[in-house]
Amino acid sequence: MKLKEILNGIETTSVSGCTDKEIDLITFDSRKCRKGSMFIAVCGAEADGHKFIPDAISAGVSAVICQEGYDGSCDGATFIKVKNSRIALALAAANFYGHPSEKLNLVGITGTNGKTTTVTLLYNLFNSLGYCCGLISTIANYVNGRKLHTDNTTPDPVTLNSLMAQMVEEGCEYCFMEVSSHSIDQDRITGLKFKIAIFSNLTHDHLDYHKTFAAYRDCKKRFFDELPSDAYALTNIDDRNGEVMVQNTSAAVKRYACHSMADFQCRIIEESIEGMLINIDGTRIWSRFIGRHNAYNLLAVYSTAILLGAKKEEVLVKMSALGPVAGRLEYIKGGKDITAVVDYSHTPDALENALTTLREAGPDRMLICVFGCGGDRDRSKRPEMGVIATKYADRVIVTSDNPRREDPQEIINEIRSGMDARARAKSLFITDRKEAIRSAVMTAPEGAIILVAGKGHEDYQIIGTTKYHFDDKEVIAEAMNELN
């Protein structure tokens, strides 16, 4: 593709050199630079891409985009300066791959909790309706049933547009994706055209990055502020920030709720540990999911499907057959009628949702909670999660999550600081996550429910900067086998 075509729509402050060159690769990773490629220097969280411009030049790149203020030389390469190289990267990627998002029905969901479950269920639903689909999620990316590895909730712009280009090439009509607050703030989704944007909820999370709740909220809101007029903004108005999200959007606003008047409504009629009977827009269906948070997730799925033109009766029939998403209230049955539940809940609200759901589903059964908090992340939520765990569970085991570069014991101490004497009396503090899970299983009384929270689908544990294999479900299964 011609460089001048890649630069279409990008606000440049200066261009030195020829723009009629052919570019066959765009990248912000200097290690991928080669002859015929374009390097875009981006300021990252841990490194400034401008430091690697000399490496890109040495590799023979045809063009370099950087932010104004860089005063180095770019001998032999066309040198383009912009005000914001992150925005330039996103627009260049969309141009380079032919704006694939415009050729798909692109649905994005943002919010603190429920993103992965909602997009995965939408992907499974539309597959079952006979459509070719793509999925971009925390767990994995899928292109027409083909699974691809993922590192981030929302990938970088080059990866995003490359994935969507593959979807278009393979005949996909729909793409369902998670939209994280980081991706909004870092302009990863700039240049994408969304058909529907969904807001799930907003609770305490990522304050290590955003610093204040207001900044976190406003970042989410920006997703809706930038929607085109021919899109839908679908918002959960039972959340106190639901209306805030859409107050400045140009999109057509649709609302869903379980406790308020809305365009789409749902209520739980009855539930047990096996599932729940719900009423969605006047029709009862049985679902294999439990908990009010999943009622919202299912309602978001239903509402989106209807807005995309699917037929109500067919959607509800297919929804009743949908099963739990990996690591989201995923059950493992064992001896002594023990049920272990693996869940990704790693925020105060998500942990509370999981514990109250299990408490309501098994009110006469002992509830045990195993959890920890990630290192190098928002520290302020740690004491709060300690309070929540001991409020709802009969027994608590505090352990490591992904400690990363922090001391695991210090993280546990911060969780413990939120507990009073009564809460500490029913808690154990075991740094080794495997031993913590084994202890919960081996000491659980007959009929107990064990929630192992925090890591969900993850099959690794990050200690320091090293990623080790670790799967909560494997550890649970091994311990339960010993009980049999």
Backbone angles phi, psi at 391, to 5 degrees: -70, -40
Count of structural domains within the chain: 3
Rounded to an integer, what distance in angstroms lies between the CA atom of residue 352 and that of residue 345? 9
pTM for the structure as a whole: 0.86
69 and 111 fall within a common domain:
no
Per-residue pLDDT of the chain (484 residues; tens, 9 = 90+): 999 999 999 999 999 999 999 999 999 999 999 999 999 999 887 789 999 999 999 999 999 999 988 887 777 899 999 999 999 999 999 999 999 999 999 999 999 889 999 999 999 999 999 999 999 998 889 999 999 977 777 899 999 999 999 999 999 999 999 999 999 999 999 999 999 999 999 986 555 565 688 999 999 999 999 999 999 999 999 999 999 999 999 999 999 999 999 999 999 999 888 899 999 999 999 999 998 999 999 999 999 999 999 999 999 999 999 998 889 899 899 999 999 999 999 989 889 999 999 998 889 999 999 999 999 988 999 999 999 999 999 999 999 999 999 999 999 999 999 999 999 999 999 999 999 999 999 999 999 999 999 999 999 999 999 999 999 999 999 999 998 7
The alpha carbon of 16 is separated from its chain's Cα centroid by a whole number of angstroms, namely: 40
Residue with tokens 């919010």, as numbered in its chain? 111
264 and 349 fall within a common domain:
no
90 and 131 fall within a common domain:
no
Q: What is the CATH classification number for the domain harbouring 33?
A: 3.40.1390.10
Domain limits for position 191: 100-319
364 and 223 fall within a common domain:
no
366 and 460 fall within a common domain:
yes
Contact between 357 and 439 (Cβ < 8 Å): no
Q: Is residue 325 part of a domain?
A: no
339 and 475 fall within a common domain:
yes
Rounded to an integer, what distance in angstroms lies between the CA atom of residue 350 and that of residue 327? 13
Contact between 150 and 138 (Cβ < 8 Å): yes
Rounded to an integer, what distance in angstroms lies between the CA atom of residue 175 and that of residue 125? 12
Alpha helices in 394-471 (DSSP H): 408-416, 421-425, 433-443
157 and 24 fall within a common domain:
no
420 and 336 fall within a common domain:
yes
279 and 391 fall within a common domain:
no
Helix (H, G, I), strand (E, B) or coil at 103: helix
201 and 276 fall within a common domain:
yes
Burial class (CB in 10 A: 0-12, 13-18, 19+), 286: middle
Give ∠ CA 266-232-179 in degrees, rounded to 5.
Answer: 85
105 and 92 fall within a common domain:
no
Q: What is the CATH classification number for the domain harbouring 218?
A: 3.40.1190.10
Which of these, 457, 349, 369, 473, lies nearest to 116 by C-alpha position?
Answer: 457
Q: Give the up-direction half-sphere exposure of residue 280: CA atoms within 13 A in the CB hemisphere.
A: 25
Q: Is residue 284 part of a domain?
A: yes
